[in-house]
Structure 1
Amino acid sequence: MQVTRLSCGGFVLAYTLNHCACDTNGALQFMKIIAEFCCDDPRRKTPSTLPSWGREILKPRSPPIIYIRHPEYNNLGDSANHHETSAKFDLEALVQTSVFLSNNDILALKRLVTGRKCVSLDVMASCLWRARTRTLFKTRYNNDMSCTMRLLFPIDTRFQFKPDLPKGFYGSTMVVPSVVTTASELLEKPLSHAASLISKAKKEVARDEYRASVVDFLEVNKGGEFWDGMFVTDMRWFKFTEVDFGWGKGVYAGPARAGVGPVPWMVTSMFYHKNVNGVDEGVLALISLPSSLVNKFHNEVRREIRGFSAL
């Protein structure tokens, strides 16, 4: 953790974490505990919510029962299913950019998905996925309409399955389902098609024992390596801006960069935010791209919102 004091009297609190220890919910719990010690009686000895390790609840079954496929993981060495070309970007050449989707933008995307009730995550992720694919289609996908495309998105299972986790549990409860399709299907069919694929994947996660199947899969395969693709993290429900260290609510509370780990260009994070004027509310999405493609990506996002569909 690092605190940087600003000349205006404010400060920046930066920290890094390992998902082997906690997930975003666990990180928020930790920040709230720190805030309590900053603001409360200095004689406070314990946090209001005691942290719980409790990892034994999520141990694999004996014998393991992997009752569904987990296409998000590349543990079978099946090179025939690999969807990306071997070309890699120079990670040092990547730049950070952000896309602000106002509430009106999100509503416009929902209107494009006619004939079905659509969740905001489904249309936003579809919009960003399609825009990113169009942006990278020549440089990374070699204009190959047959290549396989993947969208991965973590889902918090903390309150979905039995057995219940103990109060204060801060460990990782995320599962990461994936949507798999071809570039042709993703780009030539309407936005509603991509949104329906995401909705279907989410319903699969809602099935009983899905989390247990993931735990068993990771046990049998001694861990898991995600396929390369687009990884969209939905952080809208984690109210980090509400955490008060004694200076009031935060002005910004989100990732410092779009991606982390071995594939920093792959991860996109979304969270609630206001535009640069602090007036319009919406969702801010962070993404890493080669600098030469940033403007093209922003243009593709706007075209998606306007209902553009042809490649």
Structure 2
Amino acid sequence: MGSEGPAPAVTDLKLEMVGEPETIVPASATDTSPVFLSNIDQVVVIPVETVYFYPANPEKGLDKLVDTLRDALAKVLVPYHFMAGRLQMNTEEMRLQIDCNRAGAQFTHYTSGVAIADLGDVTLPNPAFRGLVPTKFNATVVFELPLLAIQVTTFKCGGYTVGVMMNHTLFDGPGAIGFFMNYTALARGEELLYEPDFDRTPLKARDPPTPTHEHFEFFKLSDLTGTDNPFTTPGSAEAEYVAMQNSMDHVTRVIPFTPEMIEILKKRALEGDTIKRVSTFEAVAAHLWLARTKSVDLMPDMPTNLLFAVDIRRRMKPPLSKHFAGNGVFSSCARATPEEIEKMSFVEAVQHIQKAIERVTDDYVRSSIDWGQINRGVPALFGGFFLSAWWKMPFYEIDYGWGKPIYAGPIVTPLIEFVLLLSNGTQDGGLNLVIALEPEQMARFEENVKITA
């Protein structure tokens, strides 16, 4: 069922930098006041790398592409001025904030000596694609890194890619989409679609913080000693900057979920009338939770978490701004021991997912924010995983004026704690699952994840 696909036709992209990396600052004067970062922002001081493949446009050459994207970036950094800043420690409160110092975003241009068609199926993982996103910075610690870096690569066929490194403290998926829609509108010569609202103080902890729920979706900072966790603490920004490296211990698979397979899961969830409705995400998440947990080596009585993002913009009271530009998501959690999961029916797994979503209310989120203020915790992934539903984001609509991309998605990282659900690039309702595991675990997972009528 899984696929790494055929070996890429080209693994050497024959990349050459044109000039030197440029620093792009806002095109006009901007506010230099620091931007408050919520407790949700604080735990995601991690780079998110995405790449967008654009085919050649026979009616429009690339002679103005680089200048257009560079100029539009300077313009969009006026309303999004905080993206041109740097992370900074507020020493009075010992929490991160954004120093809006106009240090700038990084912009680079590369050429490739190959054609996009030479790359084979660009929807499949290819280590060579890391060359299409910015990875080289004049920085030794995370505080010095740009929060946004863009690399435009033009191919000999007339196609191009836009590779983006964006620090997750800036946005969640909806916030990033809003930025790109504004950026591309300016690149096309249109007006800004809307002014972003980057005020995160509506998600500030209460004074005094008063958590009212147990929050097993988080680890306390004091409990993290010796525990590897991909999420971050405020001290992470002071750490030495090291570019992410591919792991040799894990294999990555892309596993398609066709519309027919998804329909089988949804019908299975509704058997017996225990559940009255089920979404695609709930059905797929439950199936993956059962399959992955049964495939990895875990202590049978140790609780394991499935975490996933729930948009809280409309769940808060009052709701967050329509154009909220920050991390307006909550890491909700389905929790059970491997022993319980081994005996769990598919319908029961779906119920766990649905209850985790229903749990995300204004009261629960504010309790969590307060809990984080006291305990400085991070999402609890030990033994579990975070399921990221990228397919819901309209990344395929990002058009700089040369047409829409043929592929848009993340550069696949070697983090086994993250499982991705991506669009399959069509409009048929199917999905692609991207997962990394140790070879023996992957062999078991590929059997456990199979769907039969």
Query: TM-score scaled by structure 2?
Result: 0.57
CA distance in structure 2 between the aligned counterparts of 1:135 and 1:256, rounded to whole angstroms? 25
CA distance in structure 2 between the aligned counterparts of 1:13 and 1:291, rounded to whole angstroms? 32
**CA spacing shift, 1:226–1:62, aligned 2, 3 Å:** same
Aligned partner (choices 427, 433, 436) of residue 288 of structure 1: 436
- Native 8 Å contact 1:70 1:177 kept in 2: no
Q: Where does the alignment leave 5 or more consecutive residues of structure 2 unmatched?
A: 1-149, 228-245
User: SS of the residue aligned with 2:410?
Assistant: coil
CA distance in structure 2 between the aligned counterparts of 1:126 and 1:225, rounded to whole angstroms? 19
Q: 2:448: which partner in 1?
A: 300
User: SS of the residue aligned with 1:209?
Assistant: helix
Task: Tell me the percent identity.
Answer: 28
Q: Where does the alignment leave 5 or more consecutive residues of structure 1 unmatched?
A: 83-89
- Native 8 Å contact 1:91 1:265 kept in 2: no
User: Which AA in structure 2 matches 1:8?
Assistant: C
User: SS of the residue aligned with 2:359?
Assistant: helix
- Native 8 Å contact 1:186 1:193 kept in 2: no
Shift of 1:66: 0.9
CA distance in structure 2 between the aligned counterparts of 1:96 and 1:202, rounded to whole angstroms? 28
Q: 1:209: which partner in 2?
A: 363
Q: 1:73: which partner in 2?
A: 218
- Native 8 Å contact 1:54 1:166 kept in 2: no
Q: 1:158: which partner in 2?
A: 313
Q: 1:121: which partner in 2?
A: 281
Say if 2:245 is the partner of 1:94.
Answer: no
Q: 2:291: which partner in 1?
A: 131
**CA spacing shift, 1:18–1:133, aligned 2, 3 Å:** same
Q: Deviations over 1:151-207 (max 9, x none)?
A: 1111111122122333432111111111111112212222111111111111111x3
User: SS of the residue aligned with 2:320?
Assistant: coil
User: Which AA in structure 1 matches 2:260?
Assistant: N
CA distance in structure 2 between the aligned counterparts of 1:53 and 1:246, rounded to whole angstroms? 27
Shift of 1:295: 4.1
**CA spacing shift, 1:194–1:32, aligned 2, 3 Å:** same
Q: 1:38: which partner in 2?
A: 187
Q: 2:156: which partner in 1?
A: 7
User: Which AA in structure 2 matches 1:70?
Assistant: H
- Native 8 Å contact 2:309 2:388 kept in 1: yes
Shift of 1:97: 1.7
CA distance in structure 2 between the aligned counterparts of 1:258 and 1:97, rounded to whole angstroms? 12
Q: Deviations over 1:19-76 (max 9, x none)?
A: 22211111111111221122115xx6xx221122212222111121211111111117
Q: 2:416: which partner in 1?
A: 265
Say if 2:387 is the partner of 1:232.
Answer: yes
- Native 8 Å contact 1:135 1:293 kept in 2: yes
Aligned partner (choices 60, 67, 89) of residue 205 of structure 2: 60
CA distance in structure 2 between the aligned counterparts of 1:225 and 1:203, rounded to whole angstroms? 18
Q: 1:186: which partner in 2?
A: 341
CA distance in structure 1 between the aligned counterparts of 2:427 and 2:310, rounded to whole angstroms? 30
Q: 1:248: which partner in 2?
A: 403
Q: Deviations over 1:86-143 (max 9, x none)?
A: xxxx94322322111111101111222212222221110111122212222xxx32xx
User: SS of the residue aligned with 1:70?
Assistant: coil
User: SS of the residue aligned with 2:202?
Assistant: helix
CA distance in structure 2 between the aligned counterparts of 1:280 and 1:208, rounded to whole angstroms? 35
Query: TM-score scaled by structure 1?
Result: 0.81
CA distance in structure 2 between the aligned counterparts of 1:18 and 1:279, rounded to whole angstroms? 29
User: Which AA in structure 1 matches 2:395?
Assistant: F
